[in-house]
Amino acid sequence: MASADYLLAADPARKPGLMVGTAGCAIFLLRLFERTGDDRYLKRAQEWGHHILAGHLDTHDYLGMGQGLAGIGHLGFVLNDIAGDGSGDDLVHRTAARLIDHAESDQGRVNWRRTLSDSDITRCHWCHGGAGVGQFFARAHERSPNGQYLDMAKAAGETTYAYGDDRQNPSQCHGLAGKAELFVDLGRVTGETLWDERLAEFVDLIASYRHDTADGERWQADEPGLYSPELVCGSSGVGHFLLRLIDPQLCMPFL
């Protein structure tokens, strides 16, 4: 457990986010506590949650799931699920309040800039924009029913559907798999068949990126002609999404 021992002794990361910061490290420690029962991992994760609350939550510039507020808020879900003491509530609800404040109209519904410093909205992905933020709100409503959270999640779902296959790839981070994950969550949370129908549309689009090549069956990565096995922009991320279709409760690698 060399990586865990390092984190127990390390200072929090300079950035607070899920993919490249303290929130992601804290979730790793929480999952480790879940498996081992070693209270050191839980305590350290809780300390880092408090660190994010005190030093980053009200000032962090990024808004989406990958590097921003939505990913930080997800740490609150994991804290509550594993610690069972409501210690993640402030992370969840303060994150939600900031994201509601910074929601903007896009495609007739709602979306978020990549950062508050950006001049306008440029994307609607899992990493940056409404697809990932919508997932945060769907899960926030699922755990603590709130009409405003649900409205935000559904509006983000409409925007995500309107953007469609804008980047022309099936990936988790910038493509169809990350977007369609929101439809999985909305279908589960709302019980509305609309989201199942839209999910099926996106799954058909994803399947069109499976190619028979001289090297065998391959899946397009982030750009046409590019193939990669990586999680974020390659075929393993698509594979994890497809596993969620078998079991919508499946815990994704990041989450």
- Domain limits, the chain: 1-159, 164-255
Quickly state the pLDDT bin for 254 (edges 50, 70, 90): low
CATH code for the structural domain at 1-159: 1.50.10.20
**CB neighbour class for 51 (10 Å; exposed up to 12, middle 13-18, buried from 19):** middle
Non-local CB neighbours of 239 within 8 Å, separated by 6+ positions: none
Instruction: Supply the pLDDT for residue 247.
Output: 86
What is the number of other CB atoms lying within 10 angstroms of the CB of residue 80? 18
Helix (H, G, I), strand (E, B) or coil at 123: coil
Report pLDDT for 1.
65
Mean pLDDT of the chain: 94
